[in-house]
Structure 1
Amino acid sequence: MEQTLSRQEASEAVQNYGWRFLLGTLQTSVRVGSLAQATGVAADAVAVCGDDADRHLRVDVRPDRVVFTLQSSDRAAITTRDVELAHQISATADRSGLLTEPETGTGAPRSVQLVEIAIDALDIAGIRPFWKAVLGYTDEVGAEGPEDPLIDPVGQGPAIWFQQMDRARPQRNRIHFDICVPHDEAPRRIETALAAGGRLVSATRAPAFWVLADLEGNEACVTTWQGRDG
């Protein structure tokens, strides 16, 4: 029977197969040498998923990589079936001499990430319909309330979520980016951002998120799945 998994359960179930848990999805990136090879890798993954491909799998095919995303679309969550498919896709890639394990070390290319835009608001229910309309976004499955996040129905743009303010803060930017990265890549991402002129504003909620800012005070958060349960 297909069961929904917690963040911890989902992450641990795929960690050793090169997949990472990001914002309710499992993702991995496979490096390839050509678009022809990429389409072949994608086709192999679709084949191994069988009838479950349409409900669970999304594929981004590029000449240098293929990014796989797994999620049970009818639940907007990770289930035991998503984990099974991740293992099967990794095994299929391995038989082709390809790796789903992200590269590590200084200078290594980033593996996978998801970007969210956070909008500070005094009246979330009042501004949410505007952003939904102007972006052509929709509600996530099971999140249709007047203050819930919005998503791109075709998966091209970042998710939008709304942060409740208790008073106006004109001295601070009202829109900031949340960059959700694999939990084991967060320290490297923060280190490079600080080396590039950024500063650490707050780490009080780490490892759920670190607040960083550029030289002019514009903020961005590096986030992970950790530290959000309990």
Structure 2
Amino acid sequence: MQPGGPEITRLTRTAASEAVSDLGWRYVLGTLFAWVRVETFARSVEVAAWVVEAAGEHADDHLRIDLRRDRVVLMLQTSSVAAVTSRDVDVARLISAAVRDRGLRTESGDDTVRSVQAIEIAIDAIDIAAVRPFWKAVTGYVDEPGRSGPTDPLVDPIGQGPAIWFQRMSAPRPQRNRIHLDVSVPHDEAPARIAATLAAGGVLIDDEAAPAFWVFADVEGNEACVTTWQGRDN
């Protein structure tokens, strides 16, 4: 049975996360993520075919798949709004059921491998509108669907590279790095990632906005953020 009806609802981060967590999927950075473990590339291709069949007519507009030798990485997002909707949740349930019927399961990671995640590149700029065209041209990126303003994020048109977003500065900061990574992880994986970062010599710079994000630095002061969806549904 395919999800029916033309009406779809854009979900809050909380609603999206709660709707799929029992299926092994996780909500990360505006997308539902899961993977299916396999033993061979041939099996990966086979699983992908099951997934596309389960998604049916909605595969093209909602589903992305990354095939690997040991896993099939699944991503769901409504492309027209660049966000998770009720349709994505419907499709996630269909995919999980199809995989389960064949003796496999959708999951998001365990103690043997990192969790599903998404990485963004954040660029600090005083005049975002002035620097954004350069980054768009040099990366070959495009405007995110529905967001084409002079200060909006940029995305890889084939979904291979991390998104780029711009953070406004009020004054130059010559002694601080002005490009950093945002590593978005499932909310229930954040404590483990934070502990690992601290154990590896990371320094906690700022946790005022936690659990939305924590700012860390390496021993030379280069910064990175661990982020989750939590604390953002305001």
Q: Which of the five TM-score ranges fits, normalised by the shorter chain?
A: over 0.9
Structure 1's unaligned 5+ residue stretches are none
- Give the counterpart letter for 1:29 in structure 2: W
8 A contact 1:28–1:111 mirrored in 2: no
1:62 to 68, 71, 74: 68
After TM superposition, the score normalised by the length of structure 2 is 0.95
Equivalences, count: 228
- In 2, the alpha carbon distance for the partners of 1:169 and 1:162 equals 15
1:149 to 145, 153, 173: 153
Give SS of 1:185's match.
Answer: helix
Task: Name the structure 2 match of 1:160.
Answer: 164
- In 2, the alpha carbon distance for the partners of 1:205 and 1:102 equals 25
- In 2, the alpha carbon distance for the partners of 1:154 and 1:103 equals 24
- In 2, the alpha carbon distance for the partners of 1:134 and 1:216 equals 28
1:13 to 19, 30, 37: 19
2:91 to 60, 85, 91: 85
1:198 pairs with 2:202: yes
1:134 to 119, 131, 138: 138
RMSD across aligned positions (CA): 0.9
User: Once the 2 structures are TM-superposed, how far is the Cα of residue 101 of structure 1 from its aligned partner?
Assistant: 2.6
After TM superposition, the score normalised by the length of structure 1 is 0.97
Question: Runs of 4+ in structure 1 displaced over 3 angstroms?
Answer: none
User: Once the 2 structures are TM-superposed, how far is the Cα of residue 103 of structure 1 from its aligned partner?
Assistant: 4.0
Any idea what the Cα deviations from partners look like across 1:41-71, whole Å, max 9, x if unmatched? Answer: 1100000111111011000000001100001
8 A contact 1:137–1:150 mirrored in 2: yes
2:31 to 22, 25, 32: 25
8 A contact 1:22–1:181 mirrored in 2: yes
Task: Name the structure 2 match of 1:120.
Answer: 124
User: Kindly, what percent of the aligned residue pairs are identical?
Assistant: 61
- In 2, the alpha carbon distance for the partners of 1:174 and 1:132 equals 17
Task: Name the structure 2 match of 1:186.
Answer: 190
